[in-house]
Structure 1
Amino acid sequence: MSVFRIELTKEEQLRYISHLDYYNLLQRAIRRAKLPAAYSEGFNPHMKVSFASALAVGVTASAEYADVELTKDICQPEFFDKLSAVLPAGMRLLRVKKIVAHQHHKSMNALADMAVYAIQLPENVHSDAVMTAVNAFNATSEVLFLREKTGKGNKKGQVIKKIINIKEFVATDLQYDTANNVIIVNIKVSSNGSIKPAEVIASLQQKYLLQLDSNNILINRNALLSAGKNFIDLL
């Protein structure tokens, strides 16, 4: 048995597929590559592939991470070449690293503590207005935002409302690249929850009256980190 950690992209062609569909694409690629994937036991066995963190629909990623368990040992170049050759458009294999036994003790989901997002704003947005909103956001300790989501379980179908302080989940000041019209936001990830980059943008719109067409905003997750390192370099 062996376990490989892989670093993948989720590019523009796959922007609007769900995390489950992305997961299924990877599984199909592993089968096409004829890699000796391990499966769980029981009535409904599933391939032993685990991702670091689910990505929202409409968000691309420069680096997604997954652990893939195999039933027998193969060399790292063979794994990389076979899988890379069959991945669909929009999913590129960047790096692969074998996990040794003593390293595979905690899930990436549990280790993740920060996500770095690049928010590409529309070309027609005036940079002075964005800078004013970003500076005001950075200067305050509290940015309240009304989060609404549809309930699950016995609250299925209900709209659940909760007021959150966006600033509690932002790790550093927002950075605004005026030349490229991009906002960089570092978001904390923890067992206490997190926020979506879209909620940061929505708070800038609501609290600082920043006029943006949400349909023309592109969001990319540049990095997912644990103690400042990506999940390949952790090994």
Structure 2
Amino acid sequence: MRLRIKFRKYGSVRYIGHLDVMRFFQKAIRRAEIDVAYTNGFSPHQIMAFAAPLGVGITSNGEYMDIEVHSVTSCQDIMEKLNQASVPGIEIISVKILPETAGNAMASVAAAAYTVQFRKDRTPLTDFSEILPDFLAKEHIWTARKTKNGTREIDLKAGIFQLTYSDGIFSMIVDASSGGNIKPGQVMEALLAETGESLQENALIITREDVYTKVRDESGEKLLSLNEIGFVEGELS
């Protein structure tokens, strides 16, 4: 049986990298005495998969981890036990049972939602309400991406699914798949470049709000929150 666990990451824990978060959950699951499944072999480890590693320094209200278990008391009980075994800065929001047809959390990721704002002492002079419509209407939105082989130009246009601005806060949904993986900072750099400004170091406060997969129904292809897949005991999937 597979469970999907949604959690928040905030406060000083945002400076903890993905591997340390994974190690934390391995210990928390043992402390919570969850009947987790292990791999076979000489060095067995807990069967778990995270939806999308979060960058260091970014807070999140929508992180996801799938684990495999042999048995379940109840989703509520597992959530409470994990929170009791947790630390300040990591809070379990929900636990759901995944249907057999559900894809792996990591392989399912198609997009992510973020809110972004500038730190007060690093706010640019640009009037974003004025330039945003023209920015989104562009045929191409070019930016530079550093790779192990150097720097190359990439077009962000197709990977910006939604971008709005209100009261000093940007809300965006961008491609987070393995083939796209657009970072909020790249969008902000490209936006500032429209007026000749550059993004200052450590200028952004970024929060990941949710992670999405793509599904298809009679109306076509659409984005669906990973939290909408699965059910708690007593519910239909």
Could you say whether these structures have the same fold, taking a TM-score greater than 0.5 normalized by the shorter chain as the test? Answer: yes
Matched, 1:35 2:25: no
Partner Cα separation in structure 1 for residue 106 and residue 118 of structure 2 = 29
Residue 134 (structure 2) aligned to one of 112, 133, 136: 136
Please point out which of 210, 229, 235 is paired with 1:234. Answer: 229
Q: Distance in 2 between matches of 1:206 and 1:87?
A: 42
Of 108, 116, 120, which aligns to 2:113?
116
Question: Please, which of 156, 159, 176 is the counterpart of residue 165 of structure 2?
Answer: 176
Match of 1:206 among 193, 212, 215: 193
Taking the aligned partners of 1:98 and 1:135, their CA distance within structure 2 comes to 42
CA-CA distance at 1:171 after TM superposition: 1.1
The alpha carbon displacement at 1:143 in A equals: 1.5
**How far did residue 74 of structure 1 move?**
2.6
Q: Which of residues 104, 109, 118 is equivalent to 1:107?
A: 104
Q: What RMSD over aligned residues (CA atoms) do the two structures have, in Å? A: 2.0
Q: CA deviation at 1:6?
A: 0.9
8 Å Cα contact 1:130-1:210 kept in structure 2: no
Paired residue secondary structure (1:214)? coil
User: Secondary structure of 1:210's partner?
Assistant: coil
Q: Are the equivalent residues in 1 in contact too, given 2:212–2:225 (CA < 8 A)?
A: yes
CA distance in 2, matches of 1:47, 1:215: 36
In structure 2, the CA distance between the partners of 1:131 and 1:22, relative to structure 1 (3 Å rule), is: same
Q: Residue 163 of structure 1: which of 133, 144, 153 is its match?
A: 153
Return the offset for 1:191.
Answer: 4.5
User: How do 1:189-200 and structure 2 match up within 5 A?
Assistant: 189-200=176-187
Shift of 1:99: 2.3
The offset of 1:111, in angstroms, is 2.3
Could you tell me which runs of 5 or more consecutive residues in structure 1 were left unpaired when the two chains were aligned. 152-158
Provide the rounded CA distance (Å) in 2 between the counterparts of 1:219 and 1:84: 24
CA contact (8 A) 2:126 2:192 kept: no
Which shows bigger deviation, 222-231 or 87-96? 222-231
Going from structure 1 to structure 2, the CA distance change for 1:26 and 1:75 (only over 3 Å counts) comes to same
What is the distance in 2 between the residues matched to 1:187 and 1:30?
32
CA shift, 1:122, in A, is: 2.2
- What is the percent sequence identity of the aligned residues? 27
Q: TM-score, normalised by structure 1?
A: 0.85
SS of the counterpart of 1:43?
coil
Q: CA deviation at 1:30?
A: 0.8
Q: Is the 8 A contact 1:142 1:167 kept in 2?
A: yes
Specify the alignment match of 2:48 in structure 1.
49
**Structure 1 residue ranges, 4+ long, deviating more than 6 angstroms after superposition:** none
Equivalent residue runs for 1:57-76 within 5 Å:
57-76=56-75
Rounded Cα–Cα distance in structure 1 between residues aligned with 2:174 and 2:52 = 13
1:218 partnered with 2:215: no
Separation in structure 2 between the aligned mates of residue 228 and residue 132 of structure 1, nearest angstrom: 28
